[in-house]
Chain A
């Protein structure tokens, strides 16, 4: 069997997800043995016409992004969204909660039409996304799982339980009991409850579970002393697009 031809692409994001791929120091040489990386602007020269798997980081936020993601989709058999920006719109989507004119003016003043911009969209708003690796930055263990499945020709399984489940499995002390807030109850697991394990609250980077109890979550946040609008902001950090139109 020929090795799958892989491309790695980036849109509007911080490139932290891509960097996380160079951070598999122990596995990198192994990974390179199973695939041919044929296009990756951040690490190599050149472009190709056809790909088996495209890994794509970042959200879509300019007209140029929309053109380019169509090109990538056209030449790729499988497209995997990498990280919160690509999967949900990520932190970029916070700007969508305010009128775009206002946002542009705030940053560029009267030069606001110099650089075209759109609301920050997840890849799935524009093209078909086959699989996702969630997290901000993308969760490394999940990337390895998805990667291994694809190389073996299997479909990866997406988790749909809350971060709390993993936290309990790890026998962590619940950060809510320690007096903090936490978005673990509505956030999709897969990261091994990384933040609570390091004493910090979960800020929801892996996106919502498919049936989140938003109302219950808001109540907990308010109970922890946050004003309602503050609670809502915390929820929007990674989920502004998903919560659009949801009742407060």
Chain B
């Protein structure tokens, strides 16, 4: 048995942003097992300070292109609460539709392009173009439709245009929504079922490793919480979003340009697996059937299953999109203008489930409607301590294997979290000094 181990994966591939995996064992004692975040910080706080409420979401959406819709919606919710801007039911429904589209696109991208190559033992999705063309074409078709929801409803899937404080600058037409609905039923449903079949055949490649941790997500009594809800923790129960700081507790660690978080234990997990553990009772049958086929059970403590949980909820996003479109059309589309007359200037908090977990934005506005203070807590940042803890538990369990095997297991672990490193370093909490 080897008792010395030295692993350094510089700039891990197939994740968004720059991170290194560092594992160090000397004479059987684990000295280091961690994910180092080396992405350059972008100092968003400095960019936001003093900017108009009209620009806050435009700027924070640029924290991360992959998560741009999530940042934008969360930012808008925080701004609206701070300024006392009411939004219509149609606005909420359109935003929910956008979140479904973005979650669907992100989860599909991750499962097919970033995680699947590991299950098939190749370095990227490109060899699959030759070896598994049908699968690649299916993935692209699903991604295209998910992105089209964003393009049609928000003007652009990456860095959406139409969502603004108080509503939308353009309302999609009935014809556009009906076309999306048709494609969801005719294309997405069969493609989704085929995806579940494909993954079922590959599921053996998912490592069997469990470590129980605290799982935190939003939870709502009305639906599978993505747009809104209370904070829900497997350790601490339900907590109002106003107390989000106590449910994150950010701190700086020297090996990461992104802060770490903890609540009841040394770490906690957010993302699709946490949502599954907390909210599986709110999923539609299509998603629950997929979970059954893929062996995802309630109270799952295997972080590698996060990819499966993403695929499961993608089914829910697809079906619920159809339901939302039906509601919008039944109610009749109204050509509303955004409500942009502030009724107060104060502090507001937005909390949304984005693909990688719960995202928080908080802003305080001065009397000119300019940002006086801002804080964002990003899902990947919240998961970093948990990834480190997983590595520390995993390495001793697999220490008998070859270094190459161990490295692959660690890379797959990090990828399972679908970390968005671009996102995690771009915003740290700050109170601007006057």
Contacts and interface: CB of A to CB of B under 8 A. Distances in A.
A64 B41 CA distance: 12
A198 to B, nearest CB: 4
Contact of B40 (A12, A20, A42, A195): A12
A83 to B, nearest CB: 9
Interface in A12-53: 12-20, 22-23, 25-26, 28-29, 32, 37, 40-46
Contact of A199 (B40, B137, B162): B162
A45 B58 contact: no
B126 A32 contact: yes
Contacts of B147: 23, 25
Interface stretch (A87-95, A155-163, A210-218): A87-95
Contacts of A20: 65, 158
Contacts of A126: none
B110 to A, nearest CB: 11
Interface stretch (A71-79, A107-115, A146-154, A182-190): A107-115
B164 interface: yes
A103 B46 contact: yes
B123 A103 contact: no
B386 interface: no
B271 interface: no
A106 B158 contact: no
A219 interface: no
B100 to A, nearest CB: 17
A137 B144 contact: no
Interface in B128-154: 129, 136-137, 140-141, 143-144, 147
A69 B25 CA distance: 34
A65 B14 CA distance: 20
A13 B65 CA distance: 9
Most B CB atoms within 10 A — which of A46, A94, A120?
Answer: A94
Interface in A58-105: 61-62, 64-65, 90-92, 94-95, 98, 102-104
Q: Name which of B43, B51, B124, B169 has the most chain A CB atoms within 10 A of its CB.
A: B43
Nearest to A230: B52
B17 interface: yes
A44 B65 contact: no
Contacts of B58: 203, 237
Interface string B31-44: 00000000011110
Contacts of B155: 194-195, 197-198, 200
B254 A19 contact: no
Interface in B35-66: 40-43, 45-47, 49-52, 55, 58-59, 62-66
Q: Chain B interface: which size bin?
A: 35 or more
Contacts of B86: none
Contact of A23 (B51, B143, B428): B143
A137 B42 contact: no
Nearest to B52: A230
B261 interface: no
Contact of B158 (A23, A94, A120, A195): A23
A133 interface: no
B68 A16 contact: yes
Contacts of B46: 94-95, 98, 102-103, 106-107
A233 interface: yes
B65 A117 contact: no
12 contacts: A13-B65, A17-B65, A19-B158, A43-B126, A44-B123, A92-B43, A106-B43, A107-B428, A114-B252, A115-B257, A199-B170, A233-B50
Interface of A: 11-20, 22-23, 25-26, 28-29, 32, 37, 40-46, 61-62, 64-65, 90-92, 94-95, 98, 102-104, 106-108, 111, 114-115, 117, 120, 136-137, 194-195, 197-200, 203, 230, 233-234, 237
Given A29-B137, A44-B124, 14 more contacts: A25-B140, A42-B13, A45-B123, A64-B40, A92-B47, A95-B46, A106-B433, A107-B45, A108-B428, A198-B162, A198-B169, A198-B170, A199-B162, A200-B162
Interface of B: 11, 13-17, 40-43, 45-47, 49-52, 55, 58-59, 62-66, 68, 109, 113-114, 123-126, 129, 136-137, 140-141, 143-144, 147, 155-159, 161-162, 164, 168-170, 252, 254, 257, 422, 426, 428, 430, 432-433
